[in-house]
Structure 1
């Protein structure tokens, strides 16, 4: 699937929904999955499939990334499936510390 910032995706296996924050620049086709099944554009519908992949559930408000690929997703609705690119799990992006105000 070709990704671009602002694209909304939904899981075929659970309630997870994400928004693409950063998309890879050099890769035209990215296999974003949730629960082991490819994600689809929000609103395209389709049957709910069983979760086949392993991993932790997605958490509302967290950013998931593959820094090497240049992909960042924001979870707008949590669910039971784990986010992956192919079989590679996406990692929760850590928060940057705010500067101290003296």
Structure 2
């Protein structure tokens, strides 16, 4: 089965068909047409995927965390934890570091 890679849009919801990972696209530059995978499975539109029940294993994607590519062209927000790791075009996505707040006097 081949999967067509569609352009990402902010607000788009994606889900994995092999684990319970679900994400929302926070940012994606218009020039990129990336292939987002989770545990080697291409993520699809959330409304078209029936995610399996959580398998009880330690989650690799954490709910409420943002994941970004190395060049920060794609940013995803995890809305449901899962056992697979997120990748963009074969490169692992990393947790986005929190910005420090300015000191208040």
Which band: TM-score by shorter chain? 0.7 to 0.9
Per the alignment, residue 47 of structure 2 pairs with 43
Q: Which runs of 5+ in 1 are unaligned?
A: 49-55
Q: Is the 8 A contact 1:63 1:93 kept in 2?
A: yes
Q: Which runs of 5+ in 2 are unaligned?
A: 1-5, 53-58
The counterpart of 1:18, out of the listed 20, 23, 42, is 23
Per the alignment, residue 93 of structure 2 pairs with 90
Two-structure CA RMSD over aligned residues (Å)? 1.7
Q: Which runs of 4+ in 1 moved over 6 A?
A: none
1:13 is displaced (CA, Å) by 1.5
